[in-house]
Amino acid sequence: MIKMDEINELLRKVRESCDFKEVFRTRGIRITNKCIQKPLCYYCNYMNEDIYFTSVEEVISRALELKNSGVDRVTLVSGWLGYNNKLGVRYVKAIRDDSRFDDLRLSAAFGRLSKSSLLALKKAGLDQYGCNLEGVPEILVKIKGINDFEERINTLECAREVGLDISTGFIIGVGEDWKMFDRLLRNIKELDPCSIFMSPFEPYPNTPMENFPPSNLKRVIKAIAKTKLAFPEKIIGVRIIMQCKHLPREIVSLMIYAGANLIAPPPAFSDRSVKEFFEVLKTNAENLNILYNKLINEGVNNTDVTEFIDIVGNLNLV
Ligand code: SF4
């Protein structure tokens, strides 16, 4: 059980020691949901879907829609297609050959890759490669059935060697304890990525983990704050999933307050919702400080997060 006092203390440290200047906006474009990983990861909803490939034209039009909806960085994603992902190079090249995307930061996440594949992506114009560690090795075995931790580390090291910026991340709330979490942060520190991205666990129906409980919000907030304190200069990203059907302004505000500065809206959001979402999120540290001080002055520092969020939701934040 995470105490609200502990969260408040972490949030206080974050506010005192970290700078909050900018919140970046990101979204992924799937080029295919094909994945040759065996078995498929126990949490992955790809196993519920028919295999599809997105055409280059669709990816271009999608990237344009996202750019127009306020996204400033796009990540091309696929299932794992093996160590040599030639498909991804084609999409990266198509985007880079189009001058409308000159100011778009382009990243890719195709899983473990060979150094030659990473070099081909770099030459095609990719800015950044992301390979999530997901968790410490013993957690990987539980949620994927395999331990590919070292391969993931190796992919990131190779990506750096060919000149790509690197990012990594993990899933929160899949059975890890805080000692494991701290160990993972130490592993990430050695890699020195430019951004760290976290995905709160959310169960999908018809997957082996469908009955595993979704990550609790207090855990997410604590994980964000601990990560921000460990990496005050880095971009800390969080994927908003949590089965959100509406704009979770109050949840996102709390995450930004805890130190997140890269936000990926829920996959179910339409582009219009994404645009509104980012307009609402033109939140700056000053607004959040006012908000938090107000909350503290109103004596809610010992309440649980649900109540905290209710109060945040009632404030006209931006
Ligand atoms: S490697 Fe990625 S796409 Fe493939 S099963 Fe695992 S999470 Fe899903």
Phi, psi of 40 (to 5 degrees): -65, 150
Q: Of 169, 313, 295, which Cα lies nearest the Cα of 251?
A: 313
Nearest atom in ligand 1 to the alpha carbon of residue 40 is 5
Task: Return all residues near 259 (Cβ < 8 A) that are at least 6 apart.
Answer: 14, 18, 20, 224, 225, 227, 228, 229, 236
Residue 270, pLDDT score: 58
Helical pair 249-258 and 4-17, crossing angle rounded to 10 deg: 60
Judged against a pLDDT cut of 60, whether residue 120 lies above it is answered with: yes
| DSSP state for residue 244 in the 8-state scheme | -
Query: Whose CA is closest to atom 8 on ligand 1?
Result: 44
Nearest atom in ligand 1 to the alpha carbon of residue 39 is 5
Residue 131, pLDDT score: 97
Most ligand 1 atoms within 8 A of CB, residue of 34, 36, 37 to mutate? 37
Ligand 1 geometric centre to CA of 190 (Å): 25
Among 46-55, 65-74, 218-227, 279-288, top mean pLDDT goes to 218-227
Residue 221, pLDDT score: 87
How high does pLDDT run on average in the chain? 82
Query: Whose CA is closest to atom 1 on ligand 1?
Result: 80
Residue 302, pLDDT score: 41
Please give the CATH superfamily to which domain 4-313 belongs: Aldolase class I (3.20.20.70)
Query: Token digits for 187?
Result: 């592993």
Tell me the average pLDDT across 273-297: 54
Residue 50, pLDDT score: 86
The pLDDT-based confidence of 280 (bands split at 50, 70, 90) is: low
Residue 26, pLDDT score: 78
CB atoms closer than 10 angstroms to residue 286: 9
pLDDT: which is higher, 154 or 85: 154
Percentage of residues in the chain with pLDDT exceeding 90? 50
Residue 118, pLDDT score: 98
Spans of all domains in the chain: 4-313
Phi, psi of 128 (to 5 degrees): -145, 145
In sequence order, the β-bridge partners of residue 76 are 29, 108
Residue 289, pLDDT score: 54
Judged against a pLDDT cut of 90, whether residue 14 lies above it is answered with: no
Q: Of 276, 227, 222, which Cα lies nearest the Cα of 254?
A: 222
